[in-house]
Copies of this chain bind each other. A is one copy, B any other.
Amino acid sequence: MSKYWSDAVTRLTPYVPGEQPKESGITKLNTNENPYPPSPKAAAVINNFDTDRLRLYSDPDCTQLKDAIADQFSVNRNNVFVGNGSDEVLAHTFAAFFRQEHPLLMPEFTYSFYPVYCDLFDIESKKIPLRDQFELNLDDYDQPNGGIIFANPNAPTSRAIELGDIEALAKRNTESVIVVDEAYVDFGASSAIELTQRYDNVLVIQTFSKSRSLAGMRVGYAIGHEDLIDGLERVKNSFNSYPLDMLAIESCVAAIQDNDYFAETNQKIINTREWTTEKLAELGFISLPSKTNFLFTSHRFLEAAELMGYLRSKKILVRYFSKPGIDNFLRITIGTQEEMELLVSTLEQHPDLFKMDAN
């Protein structure tokens, strides 16, 4: 607190990212990172980079990367916006489209950065309850709004919705922008990118941090109608002309073109997720049906907060949100098969697990 702060700064409640531990020997299943390294082609870009070029500014328009993304998804360059992680893309999205008369609608449980952006940009928001089993039902969004945002698959619930439901919403809700945050879409859900070609009110946001294994490189993007992209460019160019460095641009070009590697690592994660879901079920965990690289799970009788502490004492980090309604769930990232075997065997050694047989 300082007399020099703008009033709005005092009111902010900043986002708290998952812990990035500095000690080694930790099994890190808390921030939904990919357990596999990035594409070897992206790695080669970095290790062979002509560093003398770094004396020059990077391309403020990131044309090379926009073209690679456009090619990948069969859209045009002017349908693509890129930013410093999908968090920055989201921030510009909130500023560009959601400062409206009516409130922004979002699910009651979703990415916890959304309400933070609302505070930052002074956007009124309305949280729409999820239905039974955390089901996101877009029929609940038929009400006056200045925008709609949800994650598909949703986080931390891991559940996905059908493309047909999003299309139906896009048809009904023509006066505001519908943002589909697809950070996890590549692990089993259907992308709404094709809808952006037919509906000028749908914006899809994706990231290189999850399915492309480049969380440490900070690149995200949005795909939508060129007028939406133009709005984002206007905000971006009033904030920071060059948000992506040369290495981020060029390593992501290589990563997005390496579809074989992408398919192979994603399939491994999906297989491990299904194995883990089954094993955890045998230990008394009930997991929501996941289309992501994490499980949202609660135990029949062991408390989530206690389980998080137990796992932490065994050097396994998982994410826990002490928020009413989800405070008996753990969000567990799908790591390598070996990491998940370690998770399962560690849980099997929990001193109170034997009680399960008594239930």
Question: Cβ of A251: which chain B residues have Cβ within 8 Å of it?
Answer: 54
Protomer copies: 2
Against B, the Cβ 8 Å flags (1 = close, 0 = not) of A71-92 are: 0000000000000110110010
Question: Cβ of A91: which chain B residues have Cβ within 8 Å of it?
Answer: 239-240
Question: Cβ of A239: which chain B residues have Cβ within 8 Å of it?
Answer: 87-88, 91, 117, 120
Contact size class for A? 35 or more
A55 within 8 A of B: yes
Against B, the Cβ 8 Å flags (1 = close, 0 = not) of A21-34 are: 00000001001011
Distance between A274 CB and nearest chain B CB, rounded to angstroms: 21
Q: Which residue of B lies closest to A244 (CB)?
A: B218
Q: Which residue of B lies closest to A209 (CB)?
A: B57
Question: Cβ of A228: which chain B residues have Cβ within 8 Å of it?
Answer: 2, 4
Q: Contact between B57 and A33 (Cβ–Cβ < 8 Å)? A: yes
Which of the residues B17, B31, B60 comes within 8 Å of A20, measured between beta carbons? B60
- With A4-B97, A9-B95, A46-B46 known to touch, is A55 a contact of B238 (CB < 8 Å)? no
- Partner-binding segment picked from A37-45, A137-145, A164-172, A189-197: A37-45
- With A235-B9, A247-B247 known to touch, is A54 a contact of B217 (CB < 8 Å)? yes
Taken together as a complex, chains A and B put the C-alpha atoms of A238 and B237 apart, in Å, by: 19
Distance between A241 CB and nearest chain B CB, rounded to angstroms: 4
- With A33-B56, A54-B37, A176-B4 known to touch, is A245 a contact of B231 (CB < 8 Å)? no
Which residues between 164 and 212 of chain A lie within 8 Å of chain B, taking CB atoms?
175-177, 200-201, 209
Taken together as a complex, chains A and B put the C-alpha atoms of A84 and B88 apart, in Å, by: 11
A349 within 8 A of B: no
Q: Contact between A245 and B227 (Cβ–Cβ < 8 Å)? A: no
Q: Contact between A247 and B5 (Cβ–Cβ < 8 Å)? A: no
Distance between A206 CB and nearest chain B CB, rounded to angstroms: 16
A263 within 8 A of B: no
Q: Which residue of B lies closest to A177 (CB)?
A: B4
Q: Contact between A243 and B84 (Cβ–Cβ < 8 Å)? A: yes
Distance between A29 CB and nearest chain B CB, rounded to angstroms: 12
Against B, the Cβ 8 Å flags (1 = close, 0 = not) of A239-256 are: 111111111100100000
A51 within 8 A of B: yes
Q: Contact between B14 and A36 (Cβ–Cβ < 8 Å)? A: no
Which of the residues B6, B53, B217, B235 comes within 8 Å of A99, measured between beta carbons? B6
A275 within 8 A of B: no
Which of the residues B100, B230, B245, B247 comes within 8 Å of A6, measured between beta carbons? B100
Q: List 25 A-B contacts (CB under 8 A).
A: A2-B230, A4-B200, A4-B227, A7-B99, A12-B238, A17-B60, A20-B57, A20-B58, A33-B56, A34-B55, A37-B51, A47-B48, A47-B51, A56-B215, A57-B215, A88-B239, A91-B239, A91-B240, A119-B238, A120-B238, A216-B245, A217-B247, A218-B245, A245-B245, A245-B247
Give the 9 A-B residue pairs with the shortest CB-CB distance, closest first: A14-B237, A43-B51, A2-B227, A6-B99, A37-B52, A54-B216, A216-B246, A55-B213, A218-B245
